[in-house]
A and B are shown apart, each in its own frame.
Chain A
Amino acid sequence: MPDVEFRGVHRRFGPVRAVDGVSFAITKGSFHSFLGPSGCGKTTSLRLIAGFEQPDEGDVLVAGVGMGGVPAYRRPVNMVFQHYALFPHLDVFANVAFGLRQRSPRPTRAELGRRVDEALALVRLAGYGDRRAWELSGGQQQRVALARALINRPTVLLLDEPLSALDRKLRRDMQFELQTLQRDVGITFILVTHDQEEALSMSDSVAIMRDGRIVQFGAPNELYDAPVNRYVAGFVGETNFLAGRVVERQDDRASVRLDDGRVLAAPLSAGGPGLAVGEAAVIAVRPEAIQLWPGGDPAPTPLDQMFEGHIESRIFLGDQIEFAVQGDLGRILARAPKAAISVRGDLVPDTPVRFGWENESALALADV
């Protein structure tokens, strides 16, 4: 049985369709993310699960039970709020104990103390019970908020952009911690984020949202390898898009005539809808699928597509180097491992280059 399920859920705010007919099911014990730009309906979806919003239409189910008419304070879910929302008049202990104290039967003093200590130890804050929230750093407040939610052993833990207020380094650490924590406690985690790297690195499943709808629901590698359209491909990692119209269709591939008249062929995405001749489409090529070599040299291997241009800029990304190439196809991003490039110290800005890719490494996608 899925832990959280939406069946045709609508939520409107005046003329705005914040959630517009959404259905999905999240597997028990998994780490799920809602990913999308602000205003796409991801936070509203989370609030519908928490009970801060009620659907105008459709059903929200938690652990198989319909949540219609169940107020937030009776739902077996807990939330980590975006800015933590710790109670400023209570110390860390009382913040963490808050949920248990509302339960009936109320736990005994000893039981309460034991559970709070346990929860604080879980987030590595043992001994911080008598601190006030404002005495803690951002990362520590974050962990208090986690302990305050997890101590209640909810069916589902909801996380609303929990890492957005942390700096980069801390965010990485917390990503690992969250993943480990999720595996340790075995509770379903549902994360809302606009950070694609965060969603892809932590989740078992991701729902990419736009305008109140789920565009694609799947495992991170499915979204990366088989995006349903340009929107998803653009959200999941960086991609070069070459726009045009479909001129020819075979079973699993399409030829697209670009605006400049060139015709490029590529396989259809396994996740995408079949493209019809005449439909607007893009050829999507990942930067790492593009090979690059100095203009005078012959191609290292024969490639299906080959073009000319010159290096506009090069950016050092650590283990990789990214090139912006200006040429036949406009501006194209190419990325190569540093090890492969280091022997070619001659690939500096303004160098004439040739580049290309194999048709099999590109995708033909609907241009929406």
Chain B
Amino acid sequence: MKRAGPGRRRAIVTALLLAPSTLWFVALLVMPLVVVLVFSLGERAPAGGYQAGFTFANYLNLPARLTAFTNTLTLAPVGTLLCLVFAYPLAYFLAVKVKRAKLMLLVLVILPFWTSFLLRTYAWIILLSGKGIPSWLAVVGIEGVRLINTPTAVLIGIVYGYLPLMVFPIYVSLERLDKRLLEAAADLYADPIATFRRVTLPLSLPGVVTGCLLVFILLMGEYLIPQLLGGGKVFFIGNALVDLFLQSRNWPFGSAVAIALVVIMIVAVGLATRWAKHQGATREVSLL
């Protein structure tokens, strides 16, 4: 009994320390999910909202919102990829090339976060609308460009809004990369391109995977950018959900759409992690 004492005490302390997060998890994640799951199997009350029932009709009705799904499932991956394409050179520059003023440049990357995301996206409405970029292009002879309320506008907004989230994980993994490895590669006959392909890129892959997952997961639930820059024409699942819950008050159908989104996310993230593990990079993937 005496011997079991310290072990028992340690178990109690562990339980106490984990209790708040467990409660949080159950109250704010599991319970709402259960509610949504139950709702998704119910029926719309005549005046809107939820009415108890057991039917798969809501799920069978999902194709009615196909556009939202296809938009999300194309623009989220494409947006993630675009972020990566823009973020990698920037992160590389900051981590490898910049010697002085590194801190200042890093602050510049996160500086936009200091004002409201809503406000900054509004600013893009002005930039992308007829009196913005299209009118400037007209000056140099490129007429009739339409940006606002197009997928392009949404992608521009995505890259603008999510770039820092992609830059930082990649920056960290490149910063941590031992620069002597680059000299070692050059010493072993690898030209700059081969050095990048065979040393820099593989060693920064954990940062790339983390950044992509981060951006992709957030993009799948994006609402604001398509709402403002897509103008109701380019809408995501998030916009469909708002519409279903607040406008048409069809809670059961909205719940079914939400559950479908969760399932798609689990499958997509699961596949991505498996791929990353296969690349031998997960040792350092910090997000999961």
Whole-angstrom distance between the Cβ of A67 and the nearest chain B Cβ:
14
Pick the contact of B183 from A52, A74, A148, A149 — CB < 8 Å?
Answer: A52
Stretch at the interface among B124-132, B187-195, B235-243, B246-254: B187-195
Assess the A88–B189 pair: CB atoms within 8 A. no
Q: Which B residues are CB-close (under 8 A) to A86?
A: 184
A79 lies within 8 A of chain B by Cβ: yes
Chain B residues, CB < 8 A from A24 = none
SS of A interface (majority): mixed
Known: A87-B199, A89-B202. A73 touches B180 (CB 8 A): no
Given A74-B189, A152-B189, does the pair A85, B184 have CB atoms closer than 8 Å? yes
- A89, B188: Cβ atoms closer than 8 Å: no
CA distance A152 to B185 in the complex (A): 13
Count, chain B residues at interface, CB 8 A: 18
Q: When each residue 79-111 of chain A gets 1 if its CB lies under 8 Å from chain B and 0 otherwise, what string results?
A: 101010111110000000011001100000000
- Cross-chain contact B194 with A85 (CB below 8 angstroms): no
> In the bound complex, do residue B199 and residue A103 qualify as a contact, i.e. CB atoms below 8 Å apart?
no
Knowing A81-B180, A83-B180, say if A73 contacts B186 (CB, 8 Å): yes
Assess whether B280 is in contact with A89, with CB atoms less than 8 Å apart: yes
CB neighbours (8 Å) of B198 from chain A are 98
Give the complex CA separation of A79 and B181 in angstroms. 12
B165 at the interface (CB under 8 A from A): no
Say yes or no: A98-B188 contact (C-beta < 8 A), given A88-B203, A89-B202, A89-B280.
yes
Which residue of A50, A85, A89, A103 contacts B189 across the interface (Cβ within 8 Å)?
A: A103
Contacting A52 at CB < 8 Å: which of B186, B190, B191, B194? B186
| The residue from B180, B190, B191 contacting A85, defined by CB atoms under 8 A apart | B180
Instruction: Compute how far the CA of A305 lies from the CA of B203 in the bound complex, rounded to whole angstroms.
Output: 67
Task: Enumerate A63-81 residues with CB–CB distance to B below 8 Å.
Answer: 71-74, 77-79, 81
Contact B190 A102 (CB under 8 A): yes
Q: Which of B184, B190, B191, B203 contacts A89 (CB 8 A)?
A: B203
Tell me which of B186, B188, B280 has the highest count of chain A C-beta atoms within 10 A of its own C-beta.
B188
Which of B188, B194, B202, B203 interacts with A78 by CB under 8 Å? B188
Contact (Cβ within 8 A) B194 A102: yes
B253-288 residues at the A interface, CB under 8 angstroms: 280
Q: Which residues of B contact A87 (CB under 8 A)?
A: 181, 184-185, 199
A52 surroundings in chain B (CB, below 8 A): 183, 186
Interface set, chain A 93-151, CB cutoff 8 A to B: 98-99, 102-103, 148-149
Whether B186 contacts A99 by the Cβ 8 Å rule is no
Taking the closest CB of chain B, its distance from the CB of A44, in whole angstroms, is: 14
Cα A52 to Cα B180 in complex, Å, equals 11
Contact A81 B184 (CB under 8 A): yes
Please state if A72 and B186 are interface contacts (CB–CB under 8 Å).
yes
Check B280–A102 contact: CB distance below 8 A.
Answer: no
When distances are taken between beta carbons in the complex, the residues of chain B under 8 Å from A77 are: 187
In the complex, what residues of A have CB within 8 A of residue B203's CB?
A: 88-89
Task: Report the nearest B residue to A97, measured CB to CB.
Answer: B188
Contact status A102-B180, CB under 8 Å: no
Question: A102 touching B189 by the CB < 8 A rule?
Answer: yes
Min CB gap B279→A, angstroms? 9
New contact pairs (19) apart from A89-B280, A99-B188, CB-CB < 8 Å: A52-B186, A73-B189, A74-B189, A78-B187, A79-B184, A79-B187, A81-B180, A81-B184, A87-B184, A87-B199, A88-B203, A89-B199, A89-B202, A89-B203, A98-B188, A102-B188, A102-B189, A102-B190, A152-B188
Question: What are 13 sample pairs from A and B whose C-beta atoms fall under 8 A apart?
Answer: A50-B187, A72-B183, A79-B183, A79-B184, A87-B185, A98-B190, A99-B188, A99-B189, A102-B190, A102-B194, A149-B187, A152-B188, A152-B189
Spell out A's residues near B (CB within 8 Å): 50-52, 71-74, 77-79, 81, 83, 85-89, 98-99, 102-103, 148-149, 152
